[in-house]
Structure 1
Amino acid sequence: MTTVVTYGGTFDLFHIGHVRLLKRLRGLGDRLVVGLSSDEFNSVKNKNAIIPYEDRRENASIFAMGADWIGKFDDLQDVVRVVSLSRTQDVSTTELKTASSEIRNEKNRQIQSLASHLRRLIEKL
């Protein structure tokens, strides 16, 4: 039995790129185990394992990540096969967040402009 382990990431905006990556990762073995970043981990980028190394290493044959993590886990190659898969083209959580932020900012500008216009109208009355 081949177990594939991936440290999947935050998944705060779960999108088709994530779905496709997980399907491809699952295709590498018999079982896929996906890790999820906690808020605390994301904020400090430092993790202390609770499960001893020897207990964890026997559970995985492949450690797989998205290509944006290439080189970050090379030190695991002596005990597990490290695989990096390319991202889904034209799909990015960062881009989704940026677009969402731009839309929100534009709506705020429109509201401020409208409020300013209404204040001028009220002053004329």
Structure 2
Amino acid sequence: MSDAPQTKPRTVITFGTFDVLHVGHIRILKRAAELGDRLVVGVSADALNISKKGRAPVFSQDERLEIVSSLKFVDEVFVEESLELKRDYVEKYSADVLAMGDDWKGRFDFVSDIAEVVYFPRTPSVSTTEVIEHIANNA
């Protein structure tokens, strides 16, 4: 037997709608995965997306769960029912790190006593809303 100490896998959690998946989503998920050994992703429920953004997502909740879970660097997905439950989700999944885009900077520092909080810069000139508007305007 090895005398090397056993280290607990480092779990990273992140959240998003992930509607109309684009390179910005891929980059943030990859960077989040690089912070640990296991990446857990909360995909916003359809109802949460409507309350948060005032519109239904293009792809359904089940489709977005399937899309995100198919990415090789994502280990587990779940439905995020409420923004107010971030701390509960961090605890439930035993996350060591909460990673978010810097458009949320400071909003989730309240979990920093139980997990490291990391905010990533957004990918310049890539926005789901802009992609949807571009498609709608050029249809």
TM-score normalised by the chain length of structure 1: 0.70
Instruction: State which of 115, 118, 129 in structure 2 corresponds to 1:80.
Output: 115
Equivalence map 1:91-110=2 (5 Å): 91-104=126-139
Q: In the alignment, is residue 29 of structure 1 matched against residue 29 of structure 2?
A: no
For residue 10 of structure 1, what is the aligned residue in structure 2? Answer: 17
Is the 1:61–1:80 Cα contact (8 Å) retained in structure 2?
yes
2:28–2:120 Cα contact (<8 Å) kept: yes
1:57-109 deviation per Cα after TM superposition (whole angstroms, max 9, x unaligned): 571110001111111111111111110001112211111112122223xxxxx
* Pick aligned residue for 1:20 from 9, 20, 27: 27
Partner of 2:103: 68
Paired AA for residue 22 in structure 1: L
The verdict on how the C-alpha distance between 1:54 and 1:86 changes in structure 2, with shifts beyond 3 A counting, is closer
**Would the aligned equivalents of 1:57 and 1:79 in 2 still touch at CA under 8 Å?**
no
Q: Which moved more, 1:85-94 or 1:33-42?
A: 85-94
CA contact (8 A) 2:13 2:90 kept: no
Please identify the structure whose Cα radius of gyration is greater.
Answer: 1
More helix as a share of residues: 1
Q: Which blocks of at least 5 consecutive residues in structure 1 are unaligned?
A: 105-125
Percent identity for Structure 1 against Structure 2? 45
- Paired with 1:80 and 1:40, the residues of 2 have a C-alpha distance of 27
SS in 1 for 2:138: helix
Q: Is 1:59 matched up with 2:94?
A: yes
On the 8 A contact 1:67/1:85 being kept in 2, the answer is yes
Residue 13 of structure 2 aligns to a residue in which SS?
strand
Aligned amino acid, residue 23 of structure 2 = I
For structure 2, the residue ranges without an aligned partner over 5 or more in a row are 1-8, 53-80
TM-score, normalized by length of structure 2? 0.64
The amino acid across from 1:82 in the alignment is V
Task: Summarize the Cα distance change of 1:22–1:54 in structure 2 as closer, same or farther, 3 Å threshold.
Answer: closer
